[in-house]
Amino acid sequence: MNDLVQRAREAMRHAWAPYSNFHVGAAIESADGAVYVGCNVESASYGLTICAERMAIGAAVVGGARQLKRIVVTTDVDPPAAPCGACRQLLAEFGLGLEVTAVGPSTQKRWTLAALLPDAFTKETLDR
């Protein structure tokens, strides 16, 4: 876990957050142990902002990962911030059993994705 925290903090240092000054880093571990990172990138057109979690998911997919094991999200606030709703929804594509850890400067919180996104809209919903 410490490696994921370190990788997410390194990514957070590269965040582009000139509007909110809210820096976020993410590190995702795939089932095979590979790690993919992302940071938030803001835009003056706020709707175009990319969250760190979604950037890390994109990196994982580009890297060939299809099964994700866990994600660490780092912020510079305590208590640490959980992934936003859009990120939770995209993470759900890879399973509600995903372990989610949010890390601030001095505290951590942990959940499963199912706990953060109860009654999730998933591919099984479409199959009904």
Which residues form the catalytic set?
53
Residues in the chain: 128
> Could you give the count of Cα atoms lying within 13 Å of 35 in the half-sphere of its Cβ?
17
DSSP three-state, residue 23 = coil
119 CB neighbour count, 10 Å cutoff: 7
* DSSP structure class, residue 16: B
77 close to 25: Cβ distance less than 8 angstroms: no
